[in-house]
Every structure is written in structure tokens, then in C-alpha cells.
A and B are shown apart, each in its own frame.
Chain A
Amino acid sequence: NAGVMQNPRHLVRRRGQEARLRCSPMKGHSHVYWYRQLPEEGLKFMVYLQKENIIDESGMPKERFSAEFPKEGPSILRIQQVVRGDSAAYFCASSPPAANVLTFGAGSRLTVL
């Protein structure tokens, strides 16, 4: 009964490279959410997706960030041309439809050198 699986757990990138973070939701969950935790901050909502559909991306930075949740495979959060300020923990959560409780993964920690 695997929970929400995120990988990689740790990722190091140099400025200007691309980062791809993956999230496999819990079995039976069709909704995925991404949150970001900057150092010394609380988790902040980024984006909410269903299969092949972005429902709410109001928390996503306008540039360089994108997310997808394809019909097959995990959800991917993609950060192009990373900068030092992108260093953070990125958490994925999933839920069944119309649920009020999210199940979180362990997070992916991105370090930009």
C-alpha cells in the first residue's frame, strides 16, 4: 500500500540547468497537488492537477515552472534554468476527487549551486 512517492529525494543542479521532480499519487487518487517550502517558510501551494488537466496553477511562478500529470505515468514538476532561489523542498500530495484531506509525499529537496 504505497503512499505518495516522490523522486528524486534530493537533487542538486547548477544554475541554468533543468530540474524535474516526479510524483506518483497514492493508488486510487486522481488529484495531485504540488507545494513548495522555502527555507524557514511554511509550505505554499503551487498547482493542482487532475489527469491531463491543470485545475489551478495560481501558486506557480509565472516563468520557468511548469507541471503536468499525463494520462500514464507520474506527475512532473519541471523547473527550467534554475536559480539559487529555487532551492527548496517540493512536496507532492494526492487525494481522491472532492476530498478535503491530502496525503503527502516525503518531498524532493532541490539544491541549486
Chain B
Amino acid sequence: AQSVSQHNHHVILSEAASLELGCNYSYGGTVNLFWYVQYPGQHLQLLLKYFSGDPLVKGIKGFEAEFIKSKFSFNLRKPSVQWSDTAEYFCAVNGRGYQLTFGKGTKLSVIP
């Protein structure tokens, strides 16, 4: 069975600080990897995805993630956060098409 672990439940940063959110997954086969973000009161939206190819993936709003197969990790990074990045971030994996397995989410609070 697939599982996803997000290490941090709540992260608090000052504006301009660098961000790294951890995500580890367990699955025996080929996976697709995703990061979704949910801004307060809004829908879940896709930040970035990895299917194959270059393991460093760039997404929207300056986010990127690196797939490290040997570590089963897909950490999300941003060099300099803004107050508007305050949101909840979800890592997800699928190995079987439509059935996404999500982590528990990480709440990010950015202090101006």
C-alpha cells in the first residue's frame, strides 16, 4: 500500500526566509508525485508534479521540488517566502492512475 509522510505539521517563517517542506513516500513501483496547496478558503490547487525526467521540478509561484528516488523523497522548496504563501501544503503520490494518496499536510504561516 502507498503511504505519504509529511514531517512538519506547522511551519512558521518570516518573510524572505527559505522554505523546505519534507515529504517521504512508500510505494514499490513507479510513482507520480504531486504537491498541492490550499490557500485559506480556497480550493486545492496543483503547485507542481513529477512524472518522469528531470528530478528537479519547477512549479508555480517560485516553488520547486526535487525527487530523490533513493530516499523516496519529494521535498518542496522556495528560496524566499512571502506572506501570500501562507497556506496548507499537501504532498501526494499515485502509483495507480487516479487514486492519490495524500500526506497529512503542512500548515505554513509566514509572518510579515
Whether chains A and B associate is: yes
A interface residue numbers (CB < 8 A to B) = 3-4, 31, 33, 35, 40-45, 48, 56, 59, 91, 93, 95, 100-107
Q: Which residue of A lies closest to B36 (CB)?
A: A104
The answer to whether B45 and A104 touch across the interface, beta carbons within 8 angstroms, is yes
20 extra interchain contacts, Cβ-Cβ under 8 A, other than A40-B104, A48-B99?
A3-B43, A35-B102, A41-B104, A42-B90, A42-B101, A42-B104, A43-B90, A43-B102, A44-B102, A45-B101, A48-B98, A91-B44, A100-B32, A100-B49, A100-B51, A101-B34, A101-B49, A102-B98, A104-B43, A106-B41
Complex Cα distance, B90 from A104, in Å, reads 13
Q: Which residue of A lies closest to B102 (CB)?
A: A42
Q: CB of B19 within 8 A of chain A? A: no
Query: Cβ of B49: which chain A residues have Cβ within 8 Å of it?
Result: 100-101
B interface residue numbers (CB < 8 A to A) = 4, 6, 32, 34, 36, 41-46, 49, 51, 90, 92, 94, 97-105
Q: Which residue of B lies closest to A45 (CB)?
A: B99
Between A and B, how many residue pairs show CB distances below 8 Å? 55
The answer to whether B99 and A56 touch across the interface, beta carbons within 8 angstroms, is yes
Q: Which residue of A lies closest to B104 (CB)?
A: A42
Query: Cβ of A59: which chain B residues have Cβ within 8 Å of it?
Result: 99
The answer to whether B94 and A42 touch across the interface, beta carbons within 8 angstroms, is no
The answer to whether B100 and A45 touch across the interface, beta carbons within 8 angstroms, is yes
The answer to whether A42 and B105 touch across the interface, beta carbons within 8 angstroms, is yes
The answer to whether B102 and A33 touch across the interface, beta carbons within 8 angstroms, is no
The answer to whether B97 and A100 touch across the interface, beta carbons within 8 angstroms, is yes
Query: Cβ of B41: which chain A residues have Cβ within 8 Å of it?
Result: 106
Q: Which residue of B lies closest to A104 (CB)?
A: B44
Query: Cβ of A3: which chain B residues have Cβ within 8 Å of it?
Result: 43
The answer to whether B32 and A106 touch across the interface, beta carbons within 8 angstroms, is no
* Distance from A94 Cβ to chain B, minimum over Cβ atoms (Å): 11
Query: Cβ of A56: which chain B residues have Cβ within 8 Å of it?
Result: 98-99
* Distance from A97 Cβ to chain B, minimum over Cβ atoms (Å): 11
